[in-house]
Amino acid sequence: MSNVKLAEGVYWVGAIDWDRRLFDSLIPLPDGTSYNSYVIKGSEKTALIDTVDPTMQDVLINQLNRLGIENISYIVANHAEQDHSGALPRVLERYPEAKVVATPRCKDMLKDLLMIPEEKFIAVNDKETISLGGRTLEFIHAPWVHWPETMLTYLREDKILFACDFFGSHLATSDLYVTDEGQVYEAAKRYYAEIMMPFRTTIQKNLEKIRDYAIDIIAPSHGPVHDKPEFILKAYHSWVFDEPKNIVVLPYISMHGSTHKMVEYLVEALVQRDVTVKQFDLTVTDIGKLAMALVDAATVVIGTPTVLAGPHPNVAYAAFLANALRPKLRFVSIIGSYGWGGKAVEQLAAMLPNLKVEILEPVLCKGFPKEDDFKALDSLAATIAEKHKEHNFA
Ligand code: FEO
């Protein structure tokens, strides 16, 4: 990265992971990612904000050496997940005088995860501060973005919020700051959808909590830094507070074309009624795209054939994820074809206990869909369109 300076004495010292394509052995990373770490020099002391993934710990050490950092008093661990904490043992080896600053809960987790001894820690309460000499770090507890132990660090004099995963994006770029808002919006929304969305109500509280802070820069731990923070604050605000939109998400599997025919018909019937549809063939879908679509959708219609006497396993996987992600959906329905019977609807409905939704009458057909089945799909489309209109979902 050519420019690493956020302010005089405040530098990005992270690592860009251009080639990583999977996170948590689950989440696709089409654009790679970065692990952002920052160094802050006060007149008396120096602090490091978060570290990097352990696979890139030497990159961090080299960055610190290049800046001539010989002493670090505090390593702030905003979050215990290893993509930010994993290089702590290596940094503590290089800077044995440093103390790890963390919430009490994060301290306990780091002791478990990385075997860092108790005496290395300073546990900080909500709103507690530490002075570096002319610079003040304020620690803002922000549980559940997206683990229970997390905090944000606010550098008062420079009005910089080090937000860790909050406001981050999996995006490898050589630019320090956001240059392409469209690209960052997409990456940040994907990031929110995949890990933050289940905690939407606590994220609302955390957004309220930082509302009164003057913030010139948001420096997250993944992706580019926000020097125009209103862009990402506005986006988060809309994702967590807004009503769902007039959108149906339709993930489906078809084995011999019957369920696909039903999907095709329903999509057209919905479009004719001015409902936006996002259709996903689960054999080839990037689950990040599906998660993003769920951020704004009012309705999900799941399309599945009956196989092994239940829903297709790929559909079950998508239903499990949708249930875990807890999007702000209001309506769910199921459509699909069966050969001789089975319990696809009952099994799928039982997989969605977290969703506070109304289940709309499913449409199941025997074999290839026929006239009555198409009528039932028309009726489902009409019901969805009416429900969206009743709620003013635009
Ligand atoms: Fe980027 Fe939750 O770690």
pLDDT digits (tens, 9 = 90+) for 149-174: 999 999 999 999 999 999 999 999 99
Atom of ligand 1 nearest to the CA of 150: 2
| pLDDT class of 42 with cuts at 50, 70, 90 | very high
Q: Which fold has domain 5-241?
A: Metallo-beta-lactamase; Chain A (3.60.15)
Angstrom distance (rounded) from CA 34 to CA 16: 4
Q: Is the pLDDT of residue 190 over 80?
A: yes
Of 54, 119, 137, the closest CA to residue 91 belongs to 54
Tell me the CA–centroid distance for residue 227 and ligand 1, in Å. Answer: 21
Q: Is the pLDDT of residue 38 over 80?
A: yes
Rounded to the nearest angstrom, the gap between the alpha carbon of residue 78 and the centroid of all alpha carbons in its chain is 17
Let me know: does 335 contact 286? Beta carbons within 8 Å: no
C-alpha distances in Å from residue 64, one per residue of 6, 74, 81, 99, 154: 15, 14, 22, 17, 21
Which residues fall within 8 angstroms of residue 379, CB to CB, at 6 or more apart? 361
Tell me the CA–centroid distance for residue 350 and ligand 1, in Å. Answer: 30
Atom of ligand 1 nearest to the CA of 147: 2
Looking at domain 245-387, does it have CATH number 1.10.10.10?
no
Task: Give the pLDDT mean for 30-48.
Answer: 98
Q: How many CA atoms lie within 13 A of 7 on its CB side?
A: 18
- Residue 340 has a pLDDT of 86
Domain regions of the chain by residue span: 5-241, 245-387
| pLDDT class of 377 with cuts at 50, 70, 90 | very high
**Residue whose token pair is 């057909």:** 365
| Fold agreement (5-241, 245-387) | no
Residue ID of nearest Cα to ligand 1 atom 2: 81
Residue 169 identity (one-letter amino acid): S
φ, ψ at 216 (rounded to 5°): -95, -30
- Residue 274 has a pLDDT of 98
Rama region for 12: left / alpha / beta (φ>0; ψ in -120 to 50; rest): beta
Rounded to the nearest angstrom, the gap between the alpha carbon of residue 246 and the centroid of all alpha carbons in its chain is 22
Residue ID of nearest Cα to ligand 1 atom 1: 165
Atom of ligand 1 nearest to the CA of 168: 1
pLDDT digits (tens, 9 = 90+) for 14-36: 999 999 999 998 899 999 999 99
- In the three-class reduction of DSSP (H, G, I as helix; E, B as strand; rest coil), residue 35 is classed as strand
Atom of ligand 1 nearest to the CA of 35: 1
Q: How many CA atoms lie within 13 A of 257 on its CB side?
A: 1
Burial of 105 (0-12, 13-18, 19+ CB in 10 A): middle
- Residue 259 has a pLDDT of 97
Atom of ligand 1 nearest to the CA of 82: 3
Tell me the CA–centroid distance for residue 8 and ligand 1, in Å. Answer: 27
Residues with CB under 6 A from ligand 1: 79, 81, 83-84, 146, 165, 221-222
Tell me the CA–centroid distance for residue 97 and ligand 1, in Å. Answer: 26
- Residue 3 has a pLDDT of 83
Atom of ligand 1 nearest to the CA of 146: 2
Tell me the CA–centroid distance for residue 267 and ligand 1, in Å. Answer: 37
Percentage, residues of the chain above pLDDT 70:
100
Tell me the CA–centroid distance for residue 84 and ligand 1, in Å. Answer: 7
Tell me the CA–centroid distance for residue 83 and ligand 1, in Å. Answer: 6
Looking at the chain, the number of H-run helices and the number of E-run strands are 12, 24
Tell me the CA–centroid distance for residue 56 and ligand 1, in Å. Answer: 15
- In the three-class reduction of DSSP (H, G, I as helix; E, B as strand; rest coil), residue 40 is classed as strand
Token output for 33: 């990612």
Tell me the CA–centroid distance for residue 321 and ligand 1, in Å. Answer: 19
pLDDT digits (tens, 9 = 90+) for 50-102: 999 999 999 999 999 999 999 999 999 999 999 999 999 999 999 999 999 99
Residue ID of nearest Cα to ligand 1 atom 3: 81
Token output for 10: 């405040």
Q: Is the pLDDT of residue 191 over 80?
A: yes
| pLDDT class of 342 with cuts at 50, 70, 90 | confident
| pLDDT class of 1 with cuts at 50, 70, 90 | confident
Q: Is the pLDDT of residue 296 over 90?
A: yes
